[in-house]
Amino acid sequence: MPFTPIHMGPGMAVKAALPKHFSIVVFGLTQIALDLEVLWYLARWNPPLHRFWHTYLGATIVAAGFALAGKPASQLIKSIWNQIAKRYPDVDLSVSVHTSWLASASAAVVGAYSHILLDSLFHPDIEPLQPWSETNPLFGIINPMMLQIGCVILGIIGLVWFFGREQIRRKANRLPVTD
């Protein structure tokens, strides 16, 4: 499952549950970073596609890097987004630029480890426990189509929950104060 919205489904559900303590931007950047390995080997047609970065050891390094780099990267991306959103004054598309260190770290850790977990369930060539084991004990325990459907459902639930709450919050902030 190279980087697709499928990976983002569980992340969106976590964002909806912990909106101030989880950065969906950092989560997404972590997903992309991990799958650069797959794209590298795919472009060279050099299997296996899932190697060091698709192990829990490799994911730990990626998580640590994005826990630190994620906050400034997220704030930059959201600042750029807000500049684009200003072009559409009829609708409020702006987002808070602030990303806490906790939100960055939690998203990087959840992003890295959930990526390895989901790919372990989906791909036969991943060896998530390297260098200690060459096996993948999780492959085949769930139907890949059911896994994808589950991730999409989690994403839809997360999106509806998050944006529903956000719309209510924005409407409440626009109400005039009365005595």
- Domain assignment present for 47: yes
**The pair of three-digit structure tokens given for residue 165, joined into one six-digit string:** 């709450």
- Domain assignment present for 105: yes
Q: How many domains does the chain have?
A: 1
Q: In the chain, which stretches have pLDDT less than 50? A: 177-179
**The pair of three-digit structure tokens given for residue 114, joined into one six-digit string:** 């959930």
pLDDT at position 5: 65
For helices 56-85 and 101-122, angle between their N-to-C axes, nearest 10 degrees: 120
Q: How far apart are CA 14 and CA 162, in angstroms?
A: 10
- CB of 162 closer than 8 Å to CB of 19: yes
- Domain assignment present for 179: no
Residue-wise pLDDT for 32-82, tens only, equals: 999 999 999 999 999 999 999 999 999 999 999 999 999 999 999 999 999
Q: How far, CA to CA in Å, does 104 sit from each of 19, 34, 141, 145, 172?
A: 12, 16, 31, 31, 28
Domain around 10 = 5-174
Question: Which amino acid is located at 50 in the chain?
Answer: H
| Contacts for 44-52: CB closer than 8 Å, 24+ residues apart | 47/125, 48/125, 48/126, 49/123, 49/125, 50/119, 50/123, 50/125, 50/126, 50/127, 52/130
Confirm whether pTM is higher than 0.85.
Answer: yes
